[in-house]
Structure 1
Amino acid sequence: MAHATIYVGFTVPQLLRGASRIFPTHSALVVLRHSAFCYCTVNGTIKSKRKMDHLERTANNFRQEVISQAKVCGITNESETVKRLRLAIANKDFTFKAGQWVDFFIPGISVVGGFSICSSPGLLEQEGILELAVKYTVHPPAHWIHTECALDSEVALRVGGDFFFDPQPGDSPVKLVLIAGGVGINPLFSILLHIADLHGYQEGKGNGYKMGTVKLYYSAKNTSELLFKKNILGLMNAFPGKITCRFHVTQQSSQICKELQPHVTEGRISEKDLEEHVSKDTLWYICGPPPMIESLSTLLSNIGVPRNCVFFEKWW
């Protein structure tokens, strides 16, 4: 996700006052819906002469009214450059849908971060926990997470975004193809975990939404930069045939470990990889750098995927 500058205090009332001129009211939002699914409202090429900040770029996206304080309750290194935060959410009314992001408010820092959630809505519902995986940059929110954030640090969060997957029990089953580039895996991993929850609920209760198959294509420079890879392998083992993944590495120089080898392809995601999934009941979710999304959108159009079945979110 991207970032923005806005001068605010830290208490929730002050945050609301400081954000009031930037966050749109619910009545002003434009949200596309197909059945009970909600998707990213942008399905074209976006080009700009300058780089927009997070709040500016997402000004027309949905945002919840709730801003909740949260306390850091876990910090792990997901990779050499990515830290994974566990956050205990204080407000019981705080909710999100798989694929959404948060505005990330840090006391004493005037810059508001924007980070996609990488955990499932079920984890928040059951344990009051939300997770973020943040790559190191010099941008103040990410830099703070990597250099100053500690257990019991307090922040504030607000959920936003029109890129999510939220099927309801009566909806017709669909197949999903998830395509991630780099840290663009974050919202797609949240969706993947939510799908696993749906499968588990359906198997355990015999009702609820009946999920179709899911294929994840995940591209990174090398296997050390593939986030959540052990978790993803675990999901494939837990739901064989229902959740599958192909990892793509573009600059691998070291030996690939035996556990990953059967699932790794050296080279970029290609037309041949994707064309076998084209069908009338398949939806495509993409998250990654803008050039990757623009290239894949063109590729999918060329192999006959309708534009209204392709949904994406660009990270910057």
Structure 2
Amino acid sequence: MAHTTISAAFAIPQLLRGTARIFSTHSALFRLKYSALCYCTMNGTMKSKRKTDHLERTANNFRQEVISPAKVCGITNESETVKRLRLAVTNKDFTFKAGQWVDFFIPEVAVVGGFSICSSPGLLEQEGVLELAVKHTVHPPAHWIHTQCSLDSEVALRVGGNFFFDPQPADSPVNLVLIAGGVGINPLFSILLHVADFHRNQESEENGYKMGTVKLYYSAKNTNELLFKNNIFGLMNEFPGKITCSFHVTQPSSQICEELQPYITEGRISEKELEKHVSKDTLWYICGPPPMIESISKLLENFGVPTDCIYFEKWW
């Protein structure tokens, strides 16, 4: 596990050359040209209002060598602006750790997407599928998902990222505090589902990893933007005291329904809430807008939390 850092662009050409070689072996499925891919990434995106391209931001991040074809086998509306994709992965060597993302390759779309996985590694192991939750933007990969993607659409995926939770059986138990802002919930929801798998396995495995407790703090503008609410409630009911959650809304657009009221706090996540979780056995995972990450990381350091116990996504 490590911090994700913003990277320079010098590694991009080599990264794209590797991608071009992969695509040349699957020409029936993908007809991407290296020259177009390189041009759109290094020129078109750099001139847009977006800060940097996904491949630029993550050029120095860990990436698996495996690029696997995948087929869309499910599409649901997670919210008015977020679609949840279910993807069947065909390569048996394709694996990921809870919290990581994928390079998302689309036929005829030159720009490579980068989306955090929101499902658990266990789902991939058991059913050969993974899930992504993608917010609608004008960025070509996200726009394609919201306007052209359909059941049986074919794409390709490559796993990357230094932000993950992957304890081994012999590791000491830890507690987790997960702090999500907006669609930053995606990798943290993957970690939450992975934790649930550990708790289930503890009942049947004597030598498995002994998971501690998890507290999720999840902040969004309004309740409609709180993704995976029902799934999170299900986990809280399945593992009372082991998995807990506090939802925060900063710009509520309507009266909060009675069902959600016990779990909703209006306003941002407070210092007092976080301070009570500080201990030597706690790891902190943060994903959200960069200003949120920076302010919470600084706050935790002021509380005396060692920097090697604080993990965050810095690029999305």
Q: Which TM bucket (shorter chain)?
A: 0.7 to 0.9
Tell me the alpha carbon deviations over residues 101-137 of structure 1, each in whole angstroms, 9 at most, x when there is no partner: 0000000010000000000000000000010000000
2:25 corresponds to which residue? Answer: 13
Give, as a single letter, the amino acid of the residue that structure 1 aligns with 2:142. A
Task: Tell me the distance in 1 between the aligned counterparts of 2:76 and 2:272.
Answer: 37
1:178 corresponds to which residue? Answer: 178
1:28 corresponds to which residue? Answer: none
**Any gaps of 5 or more consecutive residues in structure 1?**
23-48
TM-score between the two structures when normalised by the length of structure 2:
0.86
Task: Tell me the distance in 1 between the aligned counterparts of 2:72 and 2:313.
Answer: 26
2:292 corresponds to which residue? Answer: 292
Asked if the contact 2:57/2:315 (under 8 Å) is kept, the reply is no
- In the TM superposition, residue 197 of structure 1 has moved relative to its aligned partner by 0.2
The 3 A distance-change label for structure 1 pair 256 and 105 is same
- In the TM superposition, residue 315 of structure 1 has moved relative to its aligned partner by 4.8
Give, as a single letter, the amino acid of the residue that structure 1 aligns with 2:95. T
Asked if the contact 1:235/1:243 (under 8 Å) is kept, the reply is yes
Which residues of 2 match residues 38-57 of structure 1 at below 5 A? 51-57=51-57
2:139 corresponds to which residue? Answer: 139
- In the TM superposition, residue 258 of structure 1 has moved relative to its aligned partner by 2.3
Which residues of 2 match residues 158-173 of structure 1 at below 5 A? 158-173=158-173
Structure having the higher strand fraction is: 1
Give, as a single letter, the amino acid of the residue that structure 1 aligns with 2:256. I
Asked if the contact 1:100/1:117 (under 8 Å) is kept, the reply is yes
Name the SS of the counterpart of 1:246 in structure 2.
strand
Give, as a single letter, the amino acid of the residue that structure 1 aligns with 2:143. H
- In the TM superposition, residue 299 of structure 1 has moved relative to its aligned partner by 1.1
- In the TM superposition, residue 260 of structure 1 has moved relative to its aligned partner by 1.6
Asked if the contact 1:12/1:69 (under 8 Å) is kept, the reply is no
The 3 A distance-change label for structure 1 pair 58 and 233 is same
Identical residues among aligned pairs (%): 80
Task: Tell me the distance in 2 between the aligned counterparts of 1:68 and 1:253.
Answer: 41
**Any gaps of 5 or more consecutive residues in structure 2?**
7-11, 39-48
- In the TM superposition, residue 17 of structure 1 has moved relative to its aligned partner by 9.9
Q: Which contiguous aligned blocks of 4+ residues in structure 1 show a shift greater than 6 angstroms?
A: 4-10, 14-17
Task: Tell me the distance in 2 between the aligned counterparts of 1:255 and 1:17.
Answer: 51
Give, as a single letter, the amino acid of the residue that structure 1 aligns with 2:297. S
Which residues of 2 match residues 249-268 of structure 1 at below 5 A? 249-268=249-268
Asked if the contact 1:173/1:210 (under 8 Å) is kept, the reply is yes
Task: Tell me the distance in 2 between the aligned counterparts of 1:18 and 1:278.
Answer: 49
- In the TM superposition, residue 12 of structure 1 has moved relative to its aligned partner by 6.2
Give, as a single letter, the amino acid of the residue that structure 2 aligns with 1:231. N
- In the TM superposition, residue 205 of structure 1 has moved relative to its aligned partner by 2.7
- In the TM superposition, residue 303 of structure 1 has moved relative to its aligned partner by 1.6
- In the TM superposition, residue 63 of structure 1 has moved relative to its aligned partner by 0.4
2:280 corresponds to which residue? Answer: 280
Asked if the contact 1:12/1:67 (under 8 Å) is kept, the reply is no
2:79 corresponds to which residue? Answer: 79
1:243 corresponds to which residue? Answer: 243
- In the TM superposition, residue 50 of structure 1 has moved relative to its aligned partner by 8.0
- In the TM superposition, residue 255 of structure 1 has moved relative to its aligned partner by 1.8
The 3 A distance-change label for structure 1 pair 258 and 315 is farther
Name the SS of the counterpart of 1:291 in structure 2.
helix
The 3 A distance-change label for structure 1 pair 11 and 50 is closer
TM-score between the two structures when normalised by the length of structure 1:
0.86
Tell me the alpha carbon deviations over residues 275-306 of structure 1, each in whole angstroms, 9 at most, x when there is no partner: 00000010000000101001111111122211
